[in-house]
Amino acid sequence: MSQYCVAPRLATDPTVREFSESFQFFDDDVLVSTYHKSGTTLAQEIVSCLLYGVEKTRATDQAVRSPFIDFRPPGGADPLEQARAMPSPRVLKTHLPAKYHRRHLKQAGGGPKNVIVIRNPKDVLVSKYHHFHGTKTFSEQVPSKFEDFWRAMVYQPAKHGQPDYFDFNLGWWALRDHPRVLVLFYEDLLVDKATQVRRLADFIGVELTDQLLKDTLEATSFQAMRDNPNVNVSRGGETDGWKAGVSFIRRGEIGDWKNHLTVADNEELDKAIAERMSGSEIQFVYE
């Protein structure tokens, strides 16, 4: 493995294997499935508000009510055991590619509902870079310069222990017509969140009143989530592996890539994106 490896090999990770092969899902489960830094937290909060109510959602640690079920940190609790102990309906987070979901997508009776969020690759790379460099461990294991980091993630993600952004999103996009799959775009969540909340409510079977919509929009604003310690895991203190002064929720905007990519690098990245997305109907929004 490279010196920059920051994740276990998915094929040999026991938690991933159990998720893929034997973990029991229920029809009222909601899986928020995203590539890293693509709007996962926002989608989790919206779904939680719709299913559990805004008051309970804001008052409960997101890691407790919506656990990251395919990742077990060294020495940490088994996330699948945590999920098994949860009452229905469950909101669960995963970063696993579609191929690890094949079993439950064929599950008799329907299986869980899968909410997929896709974000433009340039902003994903920027957000992922800052995420890794905000931790006490990963910051020493990934390239320190952004120009080296984005190339590592685009050209050789597996070498660095990371899933491939393009394979991940194309894999889920191919399943967009599956009745248990809803594909959203992060940029749409920012530009017209109300419409996307309505789509989500319809998909997961929640009656959306005007009051619930209003409360959900307020609770999932960028500032509200940033100010909520149950969502924003580090807000100044050195805690849970995060460096002091680092905020898990950083900027969450469209177009931050312009502050990081040179003209030449942007042109190179555009070419790489065009090659990998050739033939796809996905249209990214960059600003």
Q: CA separation (Å) from 157 to 64, 125, 166, 221, 247?
A: 30, 12, 10, 32, 25
C-alpha dihedral, 164 to 170 to 176 to 182, nearest 10°: 30
Give phi and psi for 94, each to the nearest 5.
-150, 150
Do 280 and 173 contact (CB within 8 A), yes or no? yes
Which is the catalytic residue, given 36, 95, 104, 260?
95
Sheet holding 30-34, edge to edge: 91-94, 30-34, 113-118, 181-185
Work out the number of other CB atoms within 10 angstroms of the CB of residue 64.
10
260 in catalytic set: no
R_g of the chain computed on alpha carbons = 18
Catalytic amino acids?
A: 95
